[in-house]
Structure 1
């Protein structure tokens, strides 16, 4: 991509096409209807855009001097690692004095996901995201409140996740199967229900308790759905294949788009850190996608939940539909 648009971006030190609008705030974070509070959450998009512009520039320079495919793959991996470092620094310098976003929890943005410490996330219980909802200890449920973008989003994805399971009640685990570029089938994020979900909830409770957290509102029984990160060996293979897809010299715009779409799903199936993976991936995808596609790609606000709960093919089809990228090349892609 050595055309005028790239030279301008290189000389200015960033890609001016990358703005805060490239980063729609995940609705799952909008747990209030207060516009002032929502504005505070939305402000993070500006930080993501600034970082993506810087990454776009450094990745451009690295790829221009990469002598072979191995060096190109290494350049994309280095860019992803730089994004992880940025997310950690943002957490460490957070202005929040207390809570899960305070600097006291910043080390979790550097803590790797392992087989002994997988990422677990509950999909469901949308009432806890309602504005003004209160906890009823007698029923162990949240009561009242009004719907928020977060509660509506969680309700939608609980339904989608439940639909992934077969009718047989004996099946408690469903894996997101991924066909890697070399033809091998890899297991990505797992969806859990039944006994598997109950065990995940109990594990979450034990972890939070060990950190001194409040576990009184965690449900460990009943109808639960959790996501669980893939085994470490699978995640390493999936991640490397994603970086390889991006590193190919895609001279045709359609090939570049296909590579980016596929890589997006793969990267979400291979999170590396306990916290901050979603913001890291979004920022990297915009930086890398802008290079491959000659303009910023479109990220749905719920791209992470889509990746966790949808099949490979459905995710790629829907993400492709979200793009407004034509087939006209703008300069030559790196």
Structure 2
């Protein structure tokens, strides 16, 4: 049921036209598919044995933790000799995000993702190169994030307001610009410097947009509600699909670890969807970025359209 086709490679990872390198990157989908298949088998069996909502909830909680464990083990056994994907940094795949140490991610600077682009220290910009799926993806989401600021507020912070199934509103991922983004960039540079990394190419002023994780209390509540949504008994397949779509948005608002949350969430979502729906659901390659910059309703609408397109 679950194959590598369930895991479209994130366009943001495809930063070169070299086919051999692209093939290596695409190969991770096979690892995800195997992990999701094992997780689906375990989860489906647990759900079949369950007698009440409490047991169903524990089954989904265990599956999510198992997906996190898989991602850490995959990082720890990485064959990359060095760099951010080497086993040297595996502990970051189980290091928790905290209020004092949020995840920060820059949205923008698409030229950095062009194949063959070079750094110009005088202008402090990337020059040349040719477009890649990564540069096109980043350009699109920079535009989406900019539009989100224009649509929702005049300040420097836009928080994803997450409607929870129990009627509460929680604050999810945040988009930062202006002084808030400058502060995030400076914090990012300080972290990298503390690890002995090169900070010479990190821009800390000018027009910046950053994405940051929300507060721990909100993330905990969002994750709990996502699991509850999946564990609930729904009256029909259409309602089950809606629950899965909503849970997908919620899960991306509530990452728990410094690294690996995206792959963890993808594996868990496919395993959970295959356990609840007539066939495995469909992800889009940029599902994480969509969750960061789109509103809840827009995200759900777009991901639902992907399901409809896959069934045509």
Moved over 3 A (4+): 166-170, 324-327
CA distance 1:110–1:326, shift in 2 (3 Å)? closer
Q: Structure 2 CA distance, aligned partners of 1:103 and 1:177? A: 36
Given candidates 266, 287, 295, the residue that maps to 1:311 is 295
1:166 is displaced (CA, Å) by 3.3
- Residue of structure 2 equivalent to 1:206: 190
Q: Structure 2 CA distance, aligned partners of 1:79 and 1:152? A: 34
1:302 is displaced (CA, Å) by 0.3
SS at match of 2:150: coil
- Residue of structure 2 equivalent to 1:294: 278
Q: Structure 2 CA distance, aligned partners of 1:169 and 1:222? A: 20
- Taking only aligned residues, the RMSD between alpha carbons, in angstroms, comes to 1.4
- Residue of structure 2 equivalent to 1:141: 125
Counterpart check, 1:36 vs 2:27: no
Output aligned runs, 1:1-334, within 5 Å: 17-166=1-150, 170-324=154-308
1:74 is displaced (CA, Å) by 1.2
Deviations 1:13-44 (A, max 9, x none): xxxx1000110000000000111110010000
Segments of 5+ residues of structure 1 without an aligned counterpart are: 1-16, 328-334
Q: How many residues align?
A: 311
For the 8 Å contact 1:250–1:292, the answer to whether it is kept is no
TM-score under structure 2 normalisation?
0.97
1:148 is displaced (CA, Å) by 0.4
Deviations 1:158-183 (A, max 9, x none): 00001111379850000111111111
Deviations 1:191-212 (A, max 9, x none): 0000000000000000010011
CA distance 1:97–1:170, shift in 2 (3 Å)? same
Q: Structure 1 CA distance, aligned partners of 2:247 and 2:5? A: 22
Q: Structure 1 CA distance, aligned partners of 2:146 and 2:277? A: 35
Q: Structure 2 CA distance, aligned partners of 1:100 and 1:285? A: 25
For the 8 Å contact 2:119–2:127, the answer to whether it is kept is yes
SS at match of 2:61: helix
For the 8 Å contact 2:282–2:310, the answer to whether it is kept is no
Segments of 5+ residues of structure 2 without an aligned counterpart are: none
Structure ID, larger Rg: 1
